[in-house]
Amino acid sequence: MDTVTKPAQAAHYSFFQGVERNFDKASKFTRFESGILEQIKACNSVYSMKYPVRIGDKIEVIEAYRVQHSHHKLPCKGGIRYSMDVNQDEVMALASLMTYKCAIVNVPFGGAKGGIKINPKKYTPFELEKITRRYASELVKKNFIGPGIDVPAPDYGTGAREMSWIVDTYASLKPGEVDALACVTGKPVTQGGVRGRTEATGLGVYYGVREVCNVAEDMKKIGLSVGIEGKKIIVQGLGNVGFHAAKFFYDNGGIIVGLAEYEGGIYNEKGLNLYDVVDHRKSTGSLLNFPGATNFKNSSETLEQACDILIPAALENVINGSNAARIQAKIIGEGANGPLTPDADEILGKKGVIIVPDMYLNAGGVTVSYFEWLKNLSHVRFGRMDKRFSENQNTSILNTVEGLTGKRVTDTERSLIMHGPDEVDLVYSGLEDTMISSYHEIREALLRVGNGVDMRTAAFTVAIDKVGVAYEELGIFP
């Protein structure tokens, strides 16, 4: 679960208006008539609900939403968040980002998002279960959930446990529906989930930023060397996305110099041992006072410290007109959805900072959700059919080569070469390939559109092109 709370909204427009502004900026570089553009931008269905749940000896009226932004491809797809900041505008913005995100990574879904306006920390697991199950049955009643209709997933404040309550509620209301498991993704592996989904968004952030850092020409422009190794990184948010992103950077030679959470942040220019920090936070309840690190009681000051790469991986609007000028990073990777306001984009863009946009960079979650959905529809674990076959093939190739050359590989080399793909291997490689190829699609669009255009705008043009073509091909009803 992600746990950083966001600072006061500093923009003069809402989150959804901010997304629309970015869309408009990009749509000028596309060929679609204004009607198609309006249709792409609009939220198709907005379901706002209130329902009662007994909490202790009181009845609480729960406010919740599900927004389906686009039906150009079905099912719709997107997470469900539990947060006191949930409101219709936020869910609309997040649903629309899902449409563009899916288009960018070639995941054949329309965008959606759900939200329940609660602070999940205030409820017992039993109460959360009641709130979640009732939400799921409200979605069933209105036909807002189903393997071919709309498929929720985890988001801020939710995880595999909530998804498992949702699938159980759905299946019990739809007896005999053979594909019921595909009504939601991000489930525990024992309940039809796929291996690798938990860390998918963070791993995607790592693969994406690594690819950005692998383009020598672009690194030269900002005065950085190629590759992740030795890069100084600050991560905001140690929830599911932030923790796993930090972990993959750390495990692959990145230097984590700063970490920020809602209680404050810590910084050490020589690097922090991520696992020790996590243990420290577990035992003391706070990041603060980690040996050798400087404390920042005001968490957002951590983001302003010296580093090469900054990963905001918590909530929206954390970098805005009031703090953007003080950010020192040369690359900002948006692990969260909407962490930079359009004002921040402008200020940082002028400074030449590379902003790797959310709708690309955090698409690892929905990409692996797509794999989970495919697994559920095919009713078979990835690798089940071919793992042994590949191992047998590899063994006979190796034996032949050894026979022909008269040389033998070591036991470690042998087991590495023979290894046939497990589910998690296939999920990781599918995700890696998606993140690499999608990055180059965006980069090509960036070069095509020309000077002065930022990566977010380029990513939007890629998304608009794909969704626009789908609408054209669908035809518009008279």
By annotation, the residues acting in catalysis are 113
Query: Which strand (E) or helix (H) includes residue 219?
Result: helix 216-221
> Quick one: 87 or 302, whose CB is closer to ligand GLU?
87
Q: Residue 447 CB, nearest distance to ligand GLU (Å)?
A: 27
Residue holding tokens 């042998």? 414
Among 75, 79, 242, 264, binds ligand GLU (CB under 6 A): 79
Smallest gap from Cβ 211 to ligand GLU, in A, equals 19
- Separation CA 446–CA 215 (nearest Å): 14
Q: Check residue 77 for interaction with ligand GLU (CB under 6 A).
A: yes
Rounded Cα gap, residues 109 and 70, in angstroms: 9
Q: Which is nearer to ligand GLU, 265 or 365 (CB)?
A: 365
Q: Which stretch binds ligand GLU (CB under 6 A): 49-57, 72-80, 311-319, 428-436?
A: 72-80
**The one among 365, 428, 438, 439 contacting ligand GLU by CB under 6 A:** 365
The least distance separating ligand GLU from the CB of residue 66, rounded to whole angstroms, comes to 13
Q: Which helix (H) or strand (E) holds 81?
A: strand 76-82
Give me the least distance between CB of 166 and ligand GLU, in Å please.
12
Indicate the SS3 state at residue 180. Answer: helix
d(CA 220, CA 215): 9
Cβ proximity to ligand GLU, 146 vs 365, nearer residue: 365
User: Given the rule CB under 6 A, which of 44-52, 62-70, 74-82, 344-352 is the region that contacts ligand GLU?
Assistant: 74-82
CB 434 within 8 A of CB 105: yes
Beta carbon of residue 349, minimum distance to ligand GLU (angstroms, whole number): 24
DSSP symbols for 334-346: --SSS-B-HHHHH
Is the Cβ–Cβ distance between 103 and 467 less than 8 Å? Answer: yes
Q: Which two structure tokens, joined as six digits, stand for 429?
A: 């490689």
Task: Please compute, for residue 249, the number of CA atoms within 13 A of its CA located in the half-sphere on the CB side.
Answer: 37
CA 379 to chain CA centroid, nearest Å: 25
Does position 366 interact with ligand GLU (CB under 6 A)? The reply is yes
Beta strands across the sheet bearing 232-236: 294-296, 264-267, 255-261, 232-236, 309-312, 331-333, 354-356
Indicate which single residue of 30, 70, 337, 376 sits in contact with ligand GLU (rule: CB under 6 A).
337
Tokens for 40, please give them.
């792409």
Choose the binding region for ligand GLU from 227-235, 360-368, 424-432, 434-442 (rule: CB under 6 A): 360-368
Task: Tell me the closest approach of the beta carbon of residue 153 to ligand GLU, in angstroms.
Answer: 3
Query: Please, which residue, 76 or 464, has the CB nearer to ligand GLU?
Result: 76
Q: Name which of 101 and 247 has its Cβ closer to ligand GLU.
A: 101
With contacts defined by CB under 6 A, name the span among 6-14, 75-83, 346-354, 417-425 that binds ligand GLU: 75-83
Q: How far is the CB of 240 from ligand GLU (least distance, A)?
A: 10
Q: Is 114 in the site for ligand GLU (CB under 6 A)?
A: no
Is residue 245 involved in binding ligand GLU (CB under 6 A)?
A: no
Among 78, 110, 333, 338, binds ligand GLU (CB under 6 A): 78
Helix axes 423-449, 455-474, angle to 10 degrees: 100
If binding is defined by CB under 6 A, does position 66 make contact with ligand GLU? no
Query: Look-up: residue for tokens 């996590």?
Result: 278
Q: What is the DSSP string of 240-274?
A: HHHHHHHHHHHHTT-EEEEEEETTEEEE-TT---H
Among 155, 168, 199, 465, binds ligand GLU (CB under 6 A): 155
Residue 240's contacts (CB-CB under 8 Å, 6 or more residues apart) are 1, 2, 154, 159, 198, 199, 201, 202
* # of chain residues touching ligand GLU (CB under 6 A): 11
Find the binding residues for ligand GLU in span 395-414 (CB under 6 A): none
Chain positions contacting ligand GLU, by CB under 6 A: 77-79, 153, 155, 185, 337, 362, 365-366, 369
